[in-house]
């Protein structure tokens, strides 16, 4: 390659300039490569009118205003939650069939997975176990569920923020006693509904 460049210079450039040009070309290497375009980050498409996570935080959607809240105002919410769970778990059919949540019944595992994905806003929960002794025995209706907490309003109109981690909760629906292990519910309700759950016992019926 160097010889071809030298011959081309001698044939086409005046001799007085050839020496300088020849030295410049032969002592410097020119690397030519295809320019790579920078990769574009995939853009998350939002539905028209949908709010981003930042907008929801700025609007306070993840915060609960505790002023003026009354337990009695949320009893209808608990009634709606019971109706939701009856339809979601098809409890009428289970009751007619004599379902008892036996571990060998295939329907038991199916209901475990359904309960892992369920929304507990409006559920009436009782804290059975907690690392904080003062939370044990607290009963209230879930007003807000975050990734790491259940925020309950109790019968004396007090709002309690109960951490899910290392806590066990209990609720009842149509005679079925449901025990929830907080360590296995450490996601937001909306994310839990879309998450693929593994087959493991995180709920007791």
pLDDT tens profile 87-109: 999 888 888 888 887 878 888 88
Q: Is 46 contained in some domain?
A: no
Instruction: Examine the domain organization and report whether 91 and 155 are in the same domain.
Output: yes
Give residue 28's domain range. 1-32
Q: pLDDT band for 9, please (50, 70, 90 cuts).
A: low
3-state secondary structure at position 184: helix
Domain count, the chain: 2
Residues found in the chain:
205
pLDDT in tens, 111-147: 888 898 999 999 999 999 999 999 999 999 999 999 9
Report field, pTM of the whole predicted structure over 0.75: no
Instruction: Examine the domain organization and report whether 193 and 111 are in the same domain.
Output: yes
pLDDT given at position 110: 85
Average pLDDT, whole number, for the chain? 80
Q: Is 100 contained in some domain?
A: yes
Instruction: Examine the domain organization and report whether 96 and 27 are in the same domain.
Output: no
How many CB atoms sit inside 10 A of residue 13's CB?
14
Q: pLDDT band for 191, please (50, 70, 90 cuts).
A: confident
Q: pLDDT band for 16, please (50, 70, 90 cuts).
A: low
Instruction: Examine the domain organization and report whether 129 and 195 are in the same domain.
Output: yes
Q: Is 41 contained in some domain?
A: no
Helix 106-117 to helix 75-89 angle (10° resolution) is: 140
Instruction: Examine the domain organization and report whether 2 and 84 are in the same domain.
Output: no
Q: Is 22 contained in some domain?
A: yes
Q: Is 125 contained in some domain?
A: yes
């Amino acid at each position: 390659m160097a010889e071809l460049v030298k011959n081309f210079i001698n044939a086409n450039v005046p001799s007085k300039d050839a020496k300088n040009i020849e030295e410049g070309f032969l002592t410097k290497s020119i690397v030519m490569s295809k320019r790579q375009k920078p990769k574009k980050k995939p853009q998350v498409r939002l539905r028209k009118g949908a709010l981003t996570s930042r907008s929801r935080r700025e609007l306070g959607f993840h915060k609960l205003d505790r002023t003026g809240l009354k337990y009695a105002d949320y009893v209808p919410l608990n009634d709606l939650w019971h109706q939701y769970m009856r339809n979601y778990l098809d409890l009428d059919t289970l009751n007619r069939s004599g379902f008892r949540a036996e571990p060998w019944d295939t329907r038991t595992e199916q209901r475990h997975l359904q309960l892992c994905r369920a929304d507990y806003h409006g559920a009436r929960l009782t804290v059975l176990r907690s690392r904080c002794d003062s939370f044990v025995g607290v009963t209230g209706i879930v007003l807000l569920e975050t990734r790491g907490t259940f925020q309950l309003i109790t019968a004396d109109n007090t709002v309690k923020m109960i951490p899910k981690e290392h806590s066990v909760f209990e609720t009842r629906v149509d005679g079925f006693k449901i025990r929830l292990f907080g360590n296995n519910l450490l996601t937001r309700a909306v994310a839990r509904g879309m998450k693929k759950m593994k087959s493991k016992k995180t709920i007791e019926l």
